[in-house]
A = this chain, B = another copy of it.
Amino acid sequence: MPDSASASASASASANASANATANATANPGGAATPSFSPLYQQIKALLVQGLQAGEWLPGQSIPSEIELAARFKVSQGTVRKAIDEMATENMLVRRQGKGTFVATHAEQSTQYRFLRLQPDDGNAAPLQRRLLECRRMRAPAEVARLLALKAGEAAVQVRRLLLAADGGTLRPVVLDDLWLPGTPFKGLTAERMEAWRGPLYRLFEAEFSVHMIRAEEKLRAVAAPAEEAELLQVPVGSPLLSVERLSFTYGDRPVELRRGLYDTAAHHYRNELS
């Protein structure tokens, strides 16, 4: 981003471009130097991400127009455009022709359950019912602390819940989720708060705790249902279940949720696209 000298307002990024290019050219011959170079549009992108992280623009709101951002950062509209393009393909921003560019949110219908890849074998899109089983604050177990980058013994919130599908009048459990959330950002999270909430969990996190999930990694395996989980899912002990361990990240690639789901794939499957 802007060169270190330009401490004034909005930091003439154009000057930086040349500065960076030079730095890059001169740094490499010195040995196995740091990469230490990024194109202008990457610097702009970083600034925009900072803005998002700082809450300058909230999910659902629009960011300034390309022209305005170009003026603010003292670059051409095309450069801003390229920065926004990347952020749009990463689902951090959503462009809407004629209206503006908006901060992505888990509120809209289209992106509501974009991290849930489970779907019914028949195309029925009947949304799943939720049933909260547990929600308590505790010290994060070692493994959880490690994955969430918490200090040993730091506070965490543990949540357990069921997702149920309407199956011809009766509700059949399909997913058993265990969540761990870092205690600090999720200070006021209680069972009541969750029970009262209508809508996706990630929307609650956005709206009430300013935590926006933008990316996740999942590890899948087939496991045999343990006794307790089998009972909750109403399947025989030892039934094959799909285990999905998810680590979700927010803006700075900071992990903010660990989730272990057990999916009953008798009438559902996990859909994935490869390219």
Residues of A within 8 A of B (CB): 89-91, 114-115, 117, 214-224, 238-243, 246, 263, 265, 268-275
Contact = CB atoms under 8 A, between A and B. Distances in A.
Contacts of A220: 220, 242, 265, 269-272
Given A115-B274, A272-B272, A274-B117, A240 B224 contact: yes
Contacts of A114: 274
B238 A222 contact: no
B222 A273 contact: no
27 contacts: A90-B275, A91-B275, A114-B274, A215-B274, A215-B275, A217-B274, A218-B271, A218-B273, A218-B274, A219-B269, A220-B220, A220-B242, A220-B265, A220-B271, A221-B242, A221-B265, A221-B270, A222-B222, A222-B241, A222-B242, A222-B265, A223-B240, A223-B265, A224-B240, A238-B238, A240-B240, A246-B274
Nearest to A213: B274
A219 B274 contact: no
B214 A275 contact: yes
Nearest to A238: B238
Contacts of A243: 222
